[in-house]
Structure 1
Amino acid sequence: MSKFCSVTRLATSLLCGGVTFVTLPSMALAQTSPTAETADAGLSGRVWQAGGDAALSGVIVRIAETGQSVTTDAQGAYRFGGLRAGTYTLRFDYLGYPARTESVRIAPGMIAAHDVVLGEDESTILVVGQRGAQAQALSRQRAADNVRNVVSADQAGRFPDFNAAESLRRVPGVSVQREVDAGEGRYVSIRGLDSGLNNTKINGMNAAQPEKENRRVPLDMIQTSALSSITVHKTLAPDQDADGIGGAVVLETATAFDYRGPVIDFTASGFYHDLADRLQPMVEGTLATRFGTDDRFGILVSGAWSKRKTRGFVFYQDEDYLSFVEDDPASGVTPLQYHLTEYDNERENISANLALNWAVSDATELTFKGSYNRLFDKELSHALYFEAGTDEYDDDGNLVLSEPGTANIFNQYEETELTQQSYVLNGKSRAGAVTFDYGVGYSTGKREEPFDNEVAFTKELQSNLLGYDYSGRFPIPNLTPADVAAIADPDGYVLGYNDIDQDDSKNTRWAANFDVTWEPAGSWLRTVKAGVKVERSRRTLFEANVMELTGPLTMEEFGVGGFIDPSVVGAPYAPWLSLDIGNLMRWRQYSQELIDGNPDFVNEYVEDGGIAIDEDSYTSDEDTYAGYVMAKGVWGNWDVVGGVRIDHTRVSSTNWELVELEDEDPVYNRVKGKADYTSVLPRLQINYRPSDNFVVRGAFYTSIARPEPLYISGATEISEEDGEVDVTIGNPGLKPAYAYNFDLSIERYFGSIGILSAGVYYKKIDRFIFSEIAPETEADRARFENDPRLAGKVIDDVITYTNGKSAEIYGVEFNLVRQFPELPGALGGLGLYANATFQKSKADTGLDGVPKGDFFNAPEAIVTGALTYQKYGVEASLAYSWRDRQTARFSSYNTRIVEEAHGSLDGQFSYQFAGRFKLFVNAVDILNSGKDPILDERYGAGSPYLEGASYTGRTVTFGINASF
């Protein structure tokens, strides 16, 4: 092994020749008791990069005489405690530079400072720009105790991607789910698991979840301005939160203490989407500086603003499929509704970040970080949907085919505002061999819909619309020539479905933590750490029905818009009509004017009792109390980190019970629910490090996924039809999913900024609950059979949500990153990265009639390959990412809806000139002309039955960056 390490060091030295180290003079920072040579002493310092003056995190600093090693943090700082006076040999190891040793003398009772600057001459092009970001990311990954992947900003704090989700596209085992309308990355899946199974943090605080139906965190809200790094943790230590079956995603914003000097960075760019054919602006900037005596204070402010216009089409069936013979899908299936939709989407992002640092003393530092992110989404949809004449069956169980269907011209105008805020105050204090970490945090996420206007006009056709041609990519409805002509003629359309809803959801979190770390001197036991955390999460959902107009309104009276032509994306449908945009946007005022002026028009919501609130509204409090203890031991080349975390959660909810009985007005009652559960989570990480550049990792950890508040606090709905009563209730007794996770990996790092790694993993998930999907089962019937309000009535179905039984995921993961500076001339700028994840999964819902099958959102393969280039001021990459098909959810007859495979070719190019300026262009989904779906869902794997398909085009951003 020593020969192997010698060869590695020689190769590293040759590849990085010419790099120099500049050592700053040591100085005494503090003096404790200046007694004998046996008194405790210490050593601390920072590692900086020359030129950009950025702190280097992930540098391995080792004391040759004791074997102790530490890693520099985000501010480039390192520290050794519990040392004796004497002379020590320090070794600094960072990818992209040859390892360097320094001699340091520590006086009795002193804590000495030894700062180092790496890369003083201009030959250090290897570790600046995107390669510099890669060097920092891999150095941090190499030094970590657990399995993780890091995406770092470059030395000026820049990410090449627009939002946080897009920045994770190239991480091994990570796939990105794009927002359907805008085509931008929104959610990230780790090793194929739904993003709702991830734990997502911003600056150490659990990110509030603004979505009303799940625990996903939409990362397209978060622009990368002022983000210093994004870390994906694939194995979890005891000091990390209980939830995170998929893993943990940690976003960190920068501080002024990450730099030695002032930073001024500004970017102006344009955004272009080819189907929308509109150029719109984007700007972002960062300012940072240190000030005060000995630069003990720091401030960083950053902001970003962007506006983006997109356009696309969605074709989908909106209800469960019907079988031609009742409950017999083998007879063939058909949609009740089939939609053709064009959307125009305009998105505006605003982000602002503030970081304040105060080095109170040499032993205490306080940091405040504030992050504000807002996404305003405005969408206009133009749709034609076909609806079958009936979904009834005759006495022989055959679907009724004699009723004529309808064509519906449907338009929707929707405004959605998503906000994400996080404010965290953290402190660190040291007292000898003990370090105290403490903090408080507040986070809130909101989703508001100030406008959601839906209007449809309907016309009866000759066809029953229960037959479709599925021979091509697009289902073709059975229309007669007379039907085709009728659809295009506005005469005869009358007001059909219309609705104005108010849907506002909010998640607010408060948290406090206190951690103590003890570093005993001269022992195999390197650290002992314990901590506690308290967090409250409050979820509120307010849903209200505002307007449903009935009356003799025709489409010609309302106003007719232009025709919508879907041929731009290759759809074989005739152009269809649209509605007047102005009246659609002012639908509430328009419809109220009709009601006020004509008694033939009525708001059905008011007529039904004037209840504004919807029964799905609720408030839920989730209080979490957690504590852990862990330790790290080192024996030669082996280090072991292990411990246990205990998590106790209490849930209380207030929601509605809606009783709708025949011949009676609806009745709303407040109901309350409670639940609690405790999880014990052992976790163990074992690493074998025969050299700094070779690591074998093994891990076992347990984790949980908490049930959706919607399932715990769901409304109780009691409805009667034809004398039979159906009941649906929430289930406060739902338990968190509990996962056993195993991981084994081998990592070989290269000094020329590279890695070759392989790993295997296995996850067994008991009692699974997953985003937007919960198995249903029969609830307690006795409670309702004895309900005096239902006396004499027939109780039919009593349904609630339940935990699934179990699921298993196992897979292998490969990763290669390599630069080739040893190649001659211009070829020395070449590089590549490639990663692949292959996995299998199976899930058992435990429900009768539901066969075992793939787990949800777990594709069998995720592959990325890219060529990169960096030299002569040019930085470029061309990357292709591909995800295999995956199961999305259940549909009718217990059939799994499957997302077909999808790939994307993305490119980036930039040119730096005059030292401080950079021109750039980035393109996403280069090969997508609009005729390939970014999302293609089928009713079963490879099925001709389309569930939904989304079509959008490529996007391009280009602009200029200035950094001082």
Structure 2
Amino acid sequence: MKHSICGTCESQAKHRLVLKSGVAVLAAAGLLTAFPVIAQETAAAADAVQPEATVTVTGVRRAAQSAQKIKKDADNVIDSIVADDIGKFPDTNVAETLARVTGVQVRRDGGEANTVLIRGLPGIATLLNGRELFTTTGRYIQLADIPSAMLQRVDVYKSQSADLPEGGIAGVIDVRTNRPFDFKGFTAAVNGGATNNSQADRTDPNVSGMISNRWKTPIGEVGALFGVSYVRNHYSEERAFNTKPIDKSWLLPNLTGPDLMGLQSIHGDRRRTAANYALQWKPSQDLEVYAEGLATHYLNNFETDYLVALPWWGPGDTMSGTKIPGSNQLQTLTSHNVNTIMSTQANRADNVTQQHAIGARWNAAPGLRLSSEISRTLSDYDWQNPILDTLTVMPNSVVTTNAGGGANISYSGQDITNPANYRLDQLFDRYGHDHGSSTDWRADGTYTMADEGLFKDFGFGVRAAKRTAASIKSFEGSVLAPDGIPVTSLPGLNCTASMQNNWGTTAWYTPCASYLISNTGAVRQAITGTSAGKALDPGSYFADEEKNYALYGKAHIGWETAGIPIDGVLGMRITKTDSDLLGNSMVGTAYVPTSKTSSDTAYLPSANFKASLRQDVIARFSVSKTLTRPDFAQLNPGTAYINANGTTNLATASGGNPDLKPFTARNYDGSLEWYFSSTGMASVALFRHEFKGYIQTKVVKETFNGATYDTTRPFNTDDGYLQGAEVAYRTFFDKLPGVWSGLGVEANATYTEGQTSTASDPTLSGKPFAGMSKWSYNVVGLYEKYGVSARLAYNWRSKFVQTYNDGGPGLDLIASPMSSLDGSLGYKINENTTVTLTGSNLLNFKYTDYWSNKALYPRDTRRYDRSVGVFLNWKI
């Protein structure tokens, strides 16, 4: 029986045949369309006081042309992606789309992009229509949670200006949704389709809709827009892994090898539901009042089914091994009568985030524009993660550490899928809740000078925000089951995990994840003697309150030098933050409240200059100071301890550091941009960030109640820098004859290097930033002609260090280069209807990582879904 999240599987061969055939179509298309990496017009706050503009964007070329002009006119260094039609973005979520932006790197796991870096750095501020948006206790929202169908555009700010909220030391990502005054009148759009994932072997719906209208009324013009989106995604991921090398010289002289090896079968059912609204009222030409909001519900039921080989451990086991030639590292190990753990990690993640805002824009006097807005953000996250280990003894085991670059495990002697051969071993009972909220008020103004001179206009604004964050989870650690309890004593617990890829073993018994989630009490009763859940851990608790006040001013200046027009924006942002932190720490054997109060004030100057060397050539230079505050969990004054228990648990602890300071950077950006056609441009950019206090984490030995714990804590480094270069190019070959004139190409590449220094941990000094690839690039083939639009996009990033000293001193965990080939093929049936075939991971990318030496110390090998979808877009 093939295992799924519910313990059963449903055949969908008919749907699978239709969608999988799309892979061949996409590959044969040769050229498939992309949504260009393009740019946006102004800073987030400035947008709030712009006059009304009607936006009607259709087609890849039109989107490129409009956005390219916006980039050319912008004051900041910005790249953007714009929808080529209502609800039509290149991917199903924002994080996937951003992978095509120059300088942006993403990490993909669980069937989608989930980590976004700008120029190698994670310090990103996320905005929704210019307002800060976050998930529970984080400083930013998980961009994958926002459906692309609702978006008008996504702006990536790489240089800071005084009117942008502070917090994005790497950059700012502003997600923009549609408003009713963006359209001329009644507008409706429906997008519907289905996507098939190859390893999950499921076909899922993806639907969205929007309706908008505006009316002339006796009280002025009124507009209303409503949108909904639903995306479901069954996904699968398969992994083979080794643990870090340790001494095994008792078997062979000078031998090292992994203590554990294993396989992971990952299955998930991810659902994202979202709704947005926007109301606009314009009682006169000088006044507009609006209200808008967005709510997202993310529900992810997923499981990881482990086969954990313990080839060194068993009752009366005998074994023999070999080394990798030329090394002391284990290559193969043959064992008999060895213990083997079959473990299921069941997960249920439920997150609801919503934001609502009311504001107004007013042309108060000639040249004077004012705006004000208040918003409320709420986010709640509930999670469950029961983990059940079961144990069996396998008569024969042959493991290989580097077969095909990774682990391979082969068993024989008994049926590995038969529940009768297993007993309960231990339970990890885990659950928790996070909450975040914010009330944010701001007021902005711009005064435009009546006379031409050095000063063109002045901008000013104030902001006050109150932010809260709280988190608690259950005690960590496991409870061992009484000896000899068979797994068959719990009806409904027994399932089979399976793998499409052959890692030596393709199927094994596993506890059913759905039973673990729905009947956790019964599993607790069998192992602990009570159905009650594990108590909440006061050491994990924190409740933080943060009040932020900001004041900014900026001046737009302009002059000519040697006949060259030069524009500049000079600004200063002053921001003050008062924090009250509350947690719990253990004193002896009792938890006592631990609090910390802090306050800081920062002055953040910025200057952006633009020189129009020719009508089609622009040079830019910007310098600014930015700041990013620690995450709330990093400030937790408490510590949570996990005692050593069993064969796989070490004594560990984790806690925050209430003495962490915001880290700051001085940023320098310079670029040269050539706009040689309405849809063609080439650019080169240089950048450098100089850091102070960059936050990293490390593991230190700490003694508590006489025991030594490997304790993970964040800390401020001393100084550091990141620098690099970007190049980008895009064009359509309009002058080619006939059908060939629809061809286009887009390419960009980024080089980054950087490091930090810290006296408190010399092992990290002078090392490149964890998570940063030195090189990344995108190459996109485009076609749009005769109603056909096509894209074939290849994304690549070089290897990077994930964690320093992860496998021990000098053994860094390194991810191999990553790549992705995605494509789409669309046909415009008529002015209102378009059908599109999409595909992602067309080359079936294999992920690998390793400790310092790929041939000797491989860790994970992973395979992901190949996805193919068919969609219909209809609008009026």
Cα distance in structure 1, aligned partners of 2:206 and 2:61: 25
Whose relative contact order is higher, 1 or 2, with alpha carbons under 8 Å and at least 6 apart?
A: 2
Cα distance in structure 2, aligned partners of 1:368 and 1:446: 23
Q: Does 1:550 align with 2:481?
A: yes
Contact 1:501–1:544 (Cα < 8 Å) also in 2: yes
Residue number among 828, 831, 834 corresponding to 2:747 in the alignment:
834
Using the TM superposition, name which of 263-272 and 668-677 deviates more.
668-677
Contact 2:807–2:851 (Cα < 8 Å) also in 1: no
Q: Does 1:911 align with 2:827?
A: yes
Distance change >3 Å, CA 848–CA 405, structure 1 → 2: farther
**In structure 1, what is the equivalent of residue 317 of structure 2?**
none
**In structure 2, what is the equivalent of residue 209 of structure 1?**
135
Instruction: Report the alpha carbon displacement of residue 750 of structure 1 after superposing the two structures with TM.
Output: 3.2
Residue number among 766, 770, 775 corresponding to 1:861 in the alignment:
775
Q: Does 1:575 align with 2:489?
A: no
Q: Does 1:811 align with 2:758?
A: no
Query: Structure 1: which 5+ runs fail to align?
Result: 1-55, 61-69, 80-114, 119-126, 391-397, 596-600, 785-789
Contact 1:621–1:653 (Cα < 8 Å) also in 2: yes
Q: Does 1:379 align with 2:292?
A: no
Distance change >3 Å, CA 686–CA 136, structure 1 → 2: same
**In structure 2, what is the equivalent of residue 370 of structure 1?**
293
**In structure 1, what is the equivalent of residue 172 of structure 2?**
248
TM-score under structure 2 normalisation? 0.84
Instruction: Report the alpha carbon displacement of residue 949 of structure 1 after superposing the two structures with TM.
Output: 3.4
**In structure 2, what is the equivalent of residue 415 of structure 1?**
348
Contact 1:203–1:369 (Cα < 8 Å) also in 2: no
**In structure 2, what is the equivalent of residue 898 of structure 1?**
814
Cα distance in structure 2, aligned partners of 1:603 and 1:151: 54
Q: Deviations over 1:568-595 (max 9, x none)?
A: 2242335322235664343323235648
Cα distance in structure 1, aligned partners of 2:255 and 2:851: 12
Distance change >3 Å, CA 569–CA 71, structure 1 → 2: closer
Residue number among 507, 511, 533 corresponding to 2:463 in the alignment:
533
Using the TM superposition, name which of 642-651 and 879-888 deviates more.
642-651
Instruction: State how many pairs are aligned.
Output: 802
Q: Does 1:221 align with 2:145?
A: yes
Distance change >3 Å, CA 535–CA 336, structure 1 → 2: farther
Residue number among 268, 280, 296 corresponding to 2:221 in the alignment:
296
Using the TM superposition, name which of 276-285 and 727-736 deviates more.
727-736
Alignment partner of 1:927: what SS?
Answer: coil
Structure-to-structure mapping, 1:285-434, within 5 angstroms: 285-293=209-217, 296-317=221-242, 322-323=246-247, 333-387=256-310, 406-430=339-363, 431-434=365-368
Structure-to-structure mapping, 1:673-692, within 5 angstroms: 673-692=596-615
Distance change >3 Å, CA 581–CA 156, structure 1 → 2: closer
Contact 2:305–2:343 (Cα < 8 Å) also in 1: yes
Cα distance in structure 1, aligned partners of 2:47 and 2:691: 34
Q: Which amino acid aligns with 1:541?
A: S
Contact 1:453–1:587 (Cα < 8 Å) also in 2: no
Cα distance in structure 2, aligned partners of 1:937 and 1:251: 32
Instruction: Report the alpha carbon displacement of residue 403 of structure 1 after superposing the two structures with TM.
Output: 13
Instruction: Report the alpha carbon displacement of residue 389 of structure 1 after superposing the two structures with TM.
Output: 6.1
Q: Does 1:446 align with 2:380?
A: yes
Alignment partner of 2:539: what SS?
Answer: coil
Cα distance in structure 2, aligned partners of 1:288 and 1:645: 37
Structure-to-structure mapping, 1:555-566, within 5 angstroms: 555-558=487-490, 561=494, 563-566=496-499
Instruction: Report the alpha carbon displacement of residue 902 of structure 1 after superposing the two structures with TM.
Output: 1.0
Distance change >3 Å, CA 631–CA 135, structure 1 → 2: same
**In structure 2, what is the equivalent of residue 940 of structure 1?**
852
Contact 2:401–2:858 (Cα < 8 Å) also in 1: no
Residue number among 523, 529, 533 corresponding to 1:602 in the alignment:
529
Alignment partner of 1:360: what SS?
Answer: strand
Residue number among 802, 821, 833 corresponding to 1:888 in the alignment:
802
Distance change >3 Å, CA 778–CA 360, structure 1 → 2: farther
Distance change >3 Å, CA 731–CA 580, structure 1 → 2: closer
Q: Which amino acid aligns with 1:415?
A: R
Distance change >3 Å, CA 75–CA 287, structure 1 → 2: farther
Query: Structure 2: which 5+ runs fail to align?
Result: 1-37, 314-327, 646-650
Q: Deviations over 1:320-352 (max 9, x none)?
A: 6535589xxx96754444331112211111111
Contact 2:381–2:435 (Cα < 8 Å) also in 1: yes
Distance change >3 Å, CA 582–CA 472, structure 1 → 2: closer
**In structure 1, what is the equivalent of residue 870 of structure 2?**
958
Alignment partner of 1:531: what SS?
Answer: strand
Q: Does 1:824 align with 2:751?
A: no
Contact 1:885–1:900 (Cα < 8 Å) also in 2: yes
**In structure 2, what is the equivalent of residue 260 of structure 1?**
184
Q: Which amino acid aligns with 1:832?
A: V
Q: Deviations over 1:631-686 (max 9, x none)?
A: 11100300111122222222222212235x6xxxx533222222332222121111
**In structure 1, what is the equivalent of residue 196 of structure 2?**
272
Q: Deviations over 1:14-65 (max 9, x none)?
A: xxxxxxxxxxxxxxxxxxxxxxxxxxxxxxxxxxxxxxxxxx99799xxxxx
**In structure 2, what is the equivalent of residue 25 of structure 1?**
none
Q: Which amino acid aligns with 2:432?
A: D
Distance change >3 Å, CA 544–CA 562, structure 1 → 2: closer
Contact 1:221–1:420 (Cα < 8 Å) also in 2: no
Distance change >3 Å, CA 262–CA 304, structure 1 → 2: same
Distance change >3 Å, CA 331–CA 144, structure 1 → 2: farther
Identity of aligned residues (%): 21
Contact 2:542–2:583 (Cα < 8 Å) also in 1: yes
Instruction: Report the alpha carbon displacement of residue 545 of structure 1 after superposing the two structures with TM.
Output: 4.6
Alignment partner of 1:385: what SS?
Answer: strand
**In structure 2, what is the equivalent of residue 94 of structure 1?**
none
Contact 2:41–2:74 (Cα < 8 Å) also in 1: no
**In structure 1, what is the equivalent of residue 391 of structure 2?**
458
Q: Which amino acid aligns with 1:554?
A: P
Instruction: Report the alpha carbon displacement of residue 845 of structure 1 after superposing the two structures with TM.
Output: 3.9
Instruction: Report the alpha carbon displacement of residue 516 of structure 1 after superposing the two structures with TM.
Output: 2.3
Instruction: Report the alpha carbon displacement of residue 276 of structure 1 after superposing the two structures with TM.
Output: 1.8
Cα distance in structure 2, aligned partners of 1:588 and 1:750: 64
Cα distance in structure 2, aligned partners of 1:407 and 1:755: 59
Instruction: Report the alpha carbon displacement of residue 940 of structure 1 after superposing the two structures with TM.
Output: 2.3
Cα distance in structure 2, aligned partners of 1:945 and 1:880: 29
Contact 1:238–1:683 (Cα < 8 Å) also in 2: yes
Distance change >3 Å, CA 116–CA 185, structure 1 → 2: closer
Q: Does 1:630 align with 2:546?
A: no
Instruction: Report the alpha carbon displacement of residue 537 of structure 1 after superposing the two structures with TM.
Output: 2.0
Structure-to-structure mapping, 1:841-852, within 5 angstroms: 841-846=754-759, 847-850=761-764, 852=766
Using the TM superposition, name which of 884-893 and 346-355 deviates more.
884-893
**In structure 2, what is the equivalent of residue 393 of structure 1?**
none
Cα distance in structure 1, aligned partners of 2:41 and 2:774: 36
TM-score under structure 1 normalisation? 0.77
Cα distance in structure 1, aligned partners of 2:426 and 2:600: 44
Cα distance in structure 2, aligned partners of 1:864 and 1:882: 7
**In structure 2, what is the equivalent of residue 756 of structure 1?**
682
Cα distance in structure 1, aligned partners of 2:54 and 2:212: 22
Instruction: Report the alpha carbon displacement of residue 603 of structure 1 after superposing the two structures with TM.
Output: 4.3
Contact 1:321–1:333 (Cα < 8 Å) also in 2: yes
Alignment partner of 1:893: what SS?
Answer: coil
Contact 1:687–1:695 (Cα < 8 Å) also in 2: yes
Instruction: Report the alpha carbon displacement of residue 132 of structure 1 after superposing the two structures with TM.
Output: 1.4
Alignment partner of 1:200: what SS?
Answer: strand
Q: Which amino acid aligns with 1:626?
A: A
Cα distance in structure 2, aligned partners of 1:548 and 1:514: 55
CA RMSD of aligned residues (A): 3.6
Distance change >3 Å, CA 949–CA 137, structure 1 → 2: farther
**In structure 2, what is the equivalent of residue 177 of structure 1?**
107
Q: Which amino acid aligns with 1:446?
A: D
Cα distance in structure 2, aligned partners of 1:622 and 1:460: 54
Distance change >3 Å, CA 153–CA 721, structure 1 → 2: closer
